[in-house]
Amino acid sequence: MLRFFLNKLLLIVPTLIGITIVAFAFVRLLPGDPILLLAGERGVTPERYQKLLMQFGFDRPIWEQYFQYVLGLLQGDFGISISTKREVISEFLARFPATVELSFFAIIFATVVGIPAGIISAVKRGSTVDQTVMGLALTGYSMPIFWWGLLLIIFFSGMLHWTPVSGRIDLLYFFPSVTGFMTVDALLSGQKGAFGSAMSHLTLPAIVLGTIPLAVIARQTRSAMLEVLGEDYVRTARAKGLSSLRVVGLHALRNALIPVITTIGLQVGVLMAGAILTETIFSWPGIGKWMIDSISRRDYPVVQGGLVLVSIIVMMVNLFVDVLYGLINPRIRHQ
């Protein structure tokens, strides 16, 4: 098992090197000059422009800038934001709880709805129910996040007035941030209605972000259940006269959940990518909106640092899922 873990860990190194190259090159391919955006095109003199170039290290050769950046990463230094003059890691950690909270409720929504949908579709294979569920799953997977989000805002916020359009909580409530998770902090504050307000702000973004993972989980659950339902031990259980609920829920589902759990873990990358659009649409103050704002400001250190930090998180989660799957299924690690 240790060898399996070390092999997986070693694969992260070249991936991380590639990510640093992509992140470094990506921000420099963006049109616009970060120094002019910072100082103002009309308010900067050639002397001040040169001074700012030297201050942020942009006067050095591109290869030297890259190696200086990598050296800083190895020391835990992700750079200083050009626009706010704060450390990138500090800004990331300040906004990361908001993204984690949104992603957590999105994956809960996707799991709670997706697994039962997949089970029902597998049990009713070939029926109208099966075709309807899989059709909805395909529609949800194909629906662009920005379009889906706008549709929900128009219907639930604009027409029905059931949910807020943006933010994490009503301005009526004010309390210190203890954990960074608004729902938890609202409960800890003891203010009446604060938790309900936080949940109402969280509902639409979580549904929008969780739609694609929901479709993937439903289809994977259906596929795994169909494979398991054809096994001999399932037919034996039915021959013994066990109820369909017991056969499906106890014998079949328990074995079918192994690939489903892996699929759920691998949706972290999808959630991180989807969070960028979802947070922008709903003005959710997480790392997705933070990075979009930084791209518009050509804030090189923030975009680079944000991409690398998100990639590290996704790789660590995938590593955890691989190791967990190796523990559950010994054939994986022996291969």
Q: Do 70 and 105 sit in the same domain of this protein?
A: no
The answer to whether residue 16 is domain-embedded is yes
Residue 209 in contact with residue 274, Cβ under 8 Å? Answer: yes
What pLDDT is attached to residue 294? 86
What pLDDT is attached to residue 41? 55
Q: Do 156 and 184 sit in the same domain of this protein?
A: yes
The answer to whether residue 262 is domain-embedded is yes
Name the amino acid, one letter, at 115. Answer: I
Q: Do 123 and 240 sit in the same domain of this protein?
A: yes
What pLDDT is attached to residue 197? 92
What pLDDT is attached to residue 256? 81
- Report helix, strand or coil for 85: coil
Q: Do 326 and 190 sit in the same domain of this protein?
A: no
Q: Which residues contact 322 (CB under 8 A, 6 or more apart)?
A: 8
Q: Do 20 and 73 sit in the same domain of this protein?
A: yes
Q: Do 55 and 111 sit in the same domain of this protein?
A: no
The answer to whether residue 89 is domain-embedded is no
Q: Do 151 and 253 sit in the same domain of this protein?
A: yes
Instruction: Output the tens digit of pLDDT for each of the chain's 335 residues.
Output: 667 667 777 778 888 888 888 888 877 777 777 777 666 655 567 777 777 777 777 777 888 888 888 888 888 888 888 888 889 999 999 999 999 999 999 999 999 999 999 988 988 888 898 999 999 988 888 888 888 999 999 999 989 889 898 889 998 888 888 888 999 999 998 898 899 999 999 999 999 999 999 999 999 999 988 888 877 777 777 777 776 777 777 767 777 887 888 788 778 777 877 888 899 899 899 998 898 888 888 888 888 888 888 888 888 887 777 777 666 655 555 55
Q: Per the structure block, which two tokens stand in for 94?
A: 């300040």
The answer to whether residue 255 is domain-embedded is yes
- Report helix, strand or coil for 97: helix
Phi and psi at 80, nearest 5°, equal -115, 130
Q: Do 194 and 254 sit in the same domain of this protein?
A: yes
Residue-range definition of the domain harbouring residue 204: 96-289
Which residue, 271, 289, 307, sits at the end of a domain? 289
The answer to whether residue 50 is domain-embedded is yes
H helix runs in the chain, sequence order: 2-29, 34-39, 46-56, 62-74, 88-123, 128-142, 145-152, 182-189, 194-229, 232-239, 244-246, 253-266, 268-281, 287-296, 300-328, 330-334
Q: Do 260 and 181 sit in the same domain of this protein?
A: yes
80 forms bridges with which residues in the sheet?
87
The total number of structural domains in the chain stands at: 2
Q: Do 194 and 70 sit in the same domain of this protein?
A: no
Write the CATH number for 274: 1.10.3720.10
User: Which DSSP string corresponds to 240-288?
Assistant: TT--HHHIIIIIIHHHHHHHHHHHHHHTHHHHHHHHHHHHHHTT--SHH
The answer to whether residue 33 is domain-embedded is yes
Q: Do 34 and 66 sit in the same domain of this protein?
A: yes
Q: Do 63 and 110 sit in the same domain of this protein?
A: no
Alpha-carbon distance of 295 to 290, in angstroms, equals 9
